[in-house]
A and B are shown apart, each in its own frame.
Chain A
Amino acid sequence: DQQVKQNSPSLSVQEGRISILNCDYTNSMFDYFLWYKKYPAEGPTFLISISSIKDKNEDGRFTVFLNKSAKHLSLHIVPSQPGDSAVYFCAASPTTSGTYKYIFGTGTRLKVLA
């Protein structure tokens, strides 16, 4: 049972345009969400997070939106740059239940075209 889903395995965007990566979850106990970026031969790198008490968190070119009623979150990258080309993983955690493990989606490969 895939509790965190990233339904788009890949996405191509022109440099300078907006990249929107989507993630859906099924477990209502999840209250903390993160995005990680992964380059080949490297471990995942933390990008941005959001707590369930917020619906938006912004950090430079990266913004994460959370829609709790729809159990959906999205990562917006504006403007997209070629260096953003990587695999992006959405992760969720039910922190208030006293657990800190992350449940990851299967990832979306973003390609930013110059």
Chain B
Amino acid sequence: DAGVTQSPTHLIKTRGQQVTLRCSPKSGHDTVSWYQQALGQGPQFIFQYYEEEERQRGNFPDRFSGHQFPNYSSELNVNALLLGDSALYLCASSLPHNTEAFFGQGTRLTVV
């Protein structure tokens, strides 16, 4: 069973550019959440997708958007990148009413 997989593992982008991160959930999971973890901080909730719709959103600007596909995989898009967007982006999958989430290894985004 291939748990949660994320791609790419590392990414360097220039300020103002756009980026797309990808996530494949654990087999059997249909709910995907995205978190941002800045250095020295705990993960912060960005949003959650279920049945291809954004079910819940954290305190992140509209520059952060996402999508979930019929196979439950998901993308996180960030537009107009700022230096402060540099962080580890984590994807977590779960069953819709199961509180235990499984995390991927993350994508390390560096904005220069």
Binding site for B on A (CB under 8 A): 4, 6, 32, 34, 36, 41-46, 49, 89, 91, 93, 95, 99-107
Contact = CB atoms under 8 A, between A and B. Distances in A.
17 contacts: A32-B99, A34-B100, A36-B103, A43-B104, A44-B43, A46-B102, A49-B99, A89-B43, A99-B56, A100-B56, A100-B94, A101-B48, A102-B45, A105-B42, A106-B40, A106-B42, A107-B41
Interface in B91-105: 92, 94, 97, 99-105
Given A42-B105, A43-B90, A93 B99 contact: yes
Contacts of B104: 43
Given A100-B56, A101-B33, 12 more contacts: A32-B99, A41-B105, A42-B106, A43-B105, A44-B43, A44-B90, A46-B102, A100-B31, A100-B94, A103-B45, A104-B43, A107-B41
